[in-house]
Amino acid sequence: MSSIDDLFIQLRGAGRKALMPFVTAGDPDVAFTAQLLGELARRGCHLCEVGIPYSDPVADGPVIQASYTRALDHHIQFRAILDMLGSVASQWTVPLVTMVSYAIVYRQGLEHYADLAQQQGVAGLIVPDLPIEESAALATVCQSRDLSLIQLVTPTTPRDRAIRIAEASTGFLYYVSVTGITGERTELPPELLDRVGWLREQTDLPICIGFGISQPEHVRQLAPVADGLIVGSALVRRIGMAGETTRDQVVREVGDYVSTLLAALAE
């Protein structure tokens, strides 16, 4: 069992749901990312998703793409990211999950990537460009190291395929709330609750919903059917303003924003 499994067992036992913010590693540098992750943990976030910058991201909208570009322009190094995650993991108990392209994992080597991630306290991987039909090798590597391999289900995933994805996923199942790319939305699809409700009947795995979630009202709407909610673009947009004000102020404003979502989650 990974620390993600332990977390959701505890949350379910307490009748609570998880908030999972997404941040881009190295935007604008790893020291800032470490400071921000510490603030998110201090505010009460339950786990954090950390994007590994990549030149050709999958399904990411302009806000997150821009954050990847900023990090790459600053010549962020993969090992520096993992070292930073290790320092954060040693100070906080919040599970860390990397959102990473399979090209990066493959280039590092499946076992080498998993070993490095485990050594630095990473709890799980989300590999959005790895189809279920090709995931068995990485799943075996992750299982032997108690790393969760989190799979994605989208609104266009056929139901029989969604069941197979759920059976192959560990840690939690990532449900993509909208068709298209990441980004803040004012409204979420009206059929979302029914789709997640159906999926919940097919699996005991925790289900976390991401894409488009940005407002306390979204949290209130989705909390009854989700085990966790993932918030990305709304945070990354605020982080992108780090060049216009002090870093401490950006961290504080992001923390204040997250606190409003946590308050809605606790209602």
- In this structure, the number of other CB atoms found within 10 A of the CB of residue 140 comes to 13
Catalytic residue flag (residue 60): yes
C-alpha 252/C-alpha 267 separation (Å) is 23
- The end-to-end CA distance of the chain, in Å, is 30
Contact by Cβ (8 Å): 103, 75: no
State the number of CA atoms in the 13 A half-sphere of 214 facing the CB: 16
Cβ neighbours of 137 (radius 10 Å): 11
Active site residue 49: yes
Q: Catalytic residue, from 29, 49, 184, 227: name it.
A: 49
From the list 215, 242, 241, 240, the residue with the least C-alpha distance to 229 is 215
Burial classification of residue 181, based on how many CB atoms lie within 10 Å of its CB (0-12 exposed, 13-18 middle, 19 or more buried): middle
β-bridge mates for residue 51, sequence order: 24, 99
Q: Which of these is catalytic: 60, 201, 244, 256?
A: 60
The residues assigned a catalytic role are 49, 60
